[in-house]
C-alpha cells in the first residue's frame, strides 16, 4: 500500500509537447548516483520541480546549499541557477518535472499568478507529511496512472491534474515544515556563492585575482578550492557560463553575434568564436542556424 508517497517506475517518462512550446510537460522518473553528479549549476527558461524519492541529497540553489530528505519538493522558477548533488552509494530515485503553462489566459491571469507564487519563495522547498503530503501527491499519482492508458483525452487530463497539484501545493503552504539544515563545508558554501556571483556578473571582466579580492580570499586558495568543489577550474567555469548565456541569446534573440559576444563578457569576437567552437563543437553562426532549423532540439546546448 502506498502511504503518502509517489508512484514510480524507473526510466519512465511522460511527454506533452516540447520545450519552447507555450504549454509543455516532461515527467522524468529515474535515478541518479554520485558518480554522475552535475559539475555545473545551470538554468533554463521553463519551470522545474525536483522531488527526491530516496533518503537524502543536496540541492544548490542560486549558490546556496540546501539539504534534502525523502519527498522534499524543490520548486525552480525559470532562470534560477541550480544543481543537485547525490551522496555516494546506490543510485537515488527522483522525479523531475519540467513544464511551461500559458499564464495569459483571459480571466485567469491573477489566479495563475497566485498558483505559481510558491516558486518565488526565498527558500522554494516544501516538506510535507501525512494528509497534506497525500493531498499534494494524489494528482501526481493520478497523472502517473493516467499516462499508462491510451485515452485521447490524456493531454487535457494531465494538464488539469497538474493544475490541481499546483493549487494543492499553494493551499498547503502553512503545512510546510522544511527548515534550513547545515549542509556542505564552509569552503563549499563559499565556492557555490562564487559560482552564483559569476552567473550574475558574467558580462563583466572576471579573473582569479578580481574574484579572490571580491570574496576576501587568496588567489591560490580560491583556485585550489574551486577545482576541488566543482571539478573544473575557475577559468573553465567562467567560459562555460558565458557560452551557455550566449547560446540562450543566439536561440531567443536576433542580436548580432558580435553583440552577443560583447554582452557575454568576451574580450574579442575571435576569442568568442574560439571558445564557443571548443565547448559547443561548432561556430556560433552554425549553432544559431541549427537551432532555427530544429527548434527545441538543443543537440549542442551545454547542459550539466
pLDDT value at 24 more than 60: yes
pLDDT value at 39 more than 60: no
Global confidence as pTM: 0.78
Please report which confidence band the pLDDT of residue 268 belongs to, taking 50, 70 and 90 as the band edges.
very high
| Residue 141: other Cβ atoms inside 10 A | 17
Does this chain's domain 12-175 share its CATH topology with 186-293?
no
d(CA 187, CA 193): 10
Beta bridge mates, 28? 13, 96
Q: What's the distance, CA 17 to chain centroid?
A: 19
pLDDT value at 196 more than 90: no
Please report which confidence band the pLDDT of residue 105 belongs to, taking 50, 70 and 90 as the band edges.
confident
3-state secondary structure of 103: coil
Q: The domain 12-175 is classified under which CATH number: 2.60.120.280, 3.40.50.2000, 3.40.50.12280, 2.60.40.680?
A: 2.60.120.280
Least confident stretch, 34-38, 187-191, 215-219, 246-250? 34-38
Average pLDDT score over the chain: 87
Please report which confidence band the pLDDT of residue 301 belongs to, taking 50, 70 and 90 as the band edges.
very low
Domain covering 186-293 in this structure, CATH number: 1.10.10.60
Instruction: Work out the average pLDDT over 111-121.
Output: 93
Residue 125: its pLDDT value, please?
94
Residue 277: its pLDDT value, please?
92
Please report which confidence band the pLDDT of residue 54 belongs to, taking 50, 70 and 90 as the band edges.
confident
Instruction: Work out the average pLDDT over 157-174.
Output: 96
* Contact indicator for 69, 52 with CB cutoff of 8 Å: yes
Q: Strand pairing of 64-69 and 73-76? A: unpaired
pLDDT value at 30 more than 80: yes
Residue 298: its pLDDT value, please?
46
Least confident stretch, 49-63, 65-79, 172-186? 172-186
Residue 148: its pLDDT value, please?
93
Sorted by sequence, the CB contacts under 8 Å of residue 113 that are 6+ apart come out as 103
Domain ranges of the chain: 12-175, 186-293
Nearest 5°: CA angle at 196, between 194 and 199?
110
Please report which confidence band the pLDDT of residue 207 belongs to, taking 50, 70 and 90 as the band edges.
very high
pLDDT value at 290 more than 50: yes
Percent of the chain clearing pLDDT 70 (strictly above): 91
pLDDT value at 10 more than 90: yes
Amino acid at each position: 500500500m502506498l502511504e503518502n508517497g509517489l508512484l514510480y517506475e524507473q526510466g519512465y517518462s511522460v511527454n506533452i509537447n516540447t520545450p519552447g512550446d507555450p504549454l509543455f510537460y516532461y515527467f522524468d522518473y529515474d535515478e541518479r548516483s554520485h558518480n554522475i553528479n552535475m559539475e555545473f549549476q545551470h538554468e533554463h527558461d521553463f519551470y522545474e520541480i525536483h522531488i527526491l524519492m530516496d533518503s537524502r541529497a543536496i540541492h544548490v540553489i542560486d549558490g546556496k546549499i540546501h539539504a534534502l530528505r525523502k519527498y522534499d519538493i524543490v520548486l525552480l522558477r525559470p532562470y534560477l541557477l541550480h544543481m543537485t548533488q547525490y551522496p555516494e552509494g546506490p543510485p537515488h530515485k527522483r522525479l523531475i518535472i519540467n513544464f511551461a503553462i500559458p499564464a495569459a489566459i483571459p480571466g485567469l491571469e491573477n489566479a495563475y499568478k497566485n498558483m505559481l507564487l510558491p516558486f518565488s519563495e526565498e527558500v522554494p522547498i516544501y516538506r510535507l507529511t501525512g494528509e497534506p503530503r497525500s493531498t499534494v501527491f494524489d494528482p501526481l499519482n493520478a497523472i502517473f496512472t493516467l499516462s499508462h492508458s491510451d485515452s485521447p483525452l490524456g493531454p487535457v487530463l494531465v494538464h488539469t491534474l497538474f493544475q490541481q497539484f499546483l493549487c494543492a501545493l499553494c493551499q498547503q503552504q502553512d503545512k510546510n515544515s522544511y527548515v534550513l539544515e547545515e549542509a556542505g563545508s564552509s569552503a563549499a558554501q563559499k565556492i557555490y556563492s562564487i559560482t552564483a556571483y559569476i552567473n550574475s556578473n558574467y558580462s563583466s571582466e572576471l579573473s582569479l585575482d578580481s574574484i579572490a579580492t571580491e570574496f576576501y580570499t587568496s588567489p591560490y586558495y580560491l583556485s585550489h578550492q574551486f577545482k576541488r568543489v566543482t571539478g573544473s577550474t575557475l577559468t573553465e567555469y567562467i567560459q562555460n557560463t558565458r557560452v551557455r548565456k550566449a547560446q540562450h541569446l543566439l536561440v531567443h534573440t536576433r542580436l548580432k553575434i558580435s553583440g552577443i559576444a560583447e554582452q557575454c563578457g568576451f574580450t574579442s569576437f575571435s576569442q568568442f568564436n574560439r571558445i564557443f567552437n571548443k565547448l559547443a563543437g561548432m561556430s556560433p553562426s552554425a549553432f544559431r542556424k541549427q537551432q532555427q532549423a530544429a527548434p527545441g532540439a538543443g543537440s549542442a546546448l551545454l547542459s550539466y
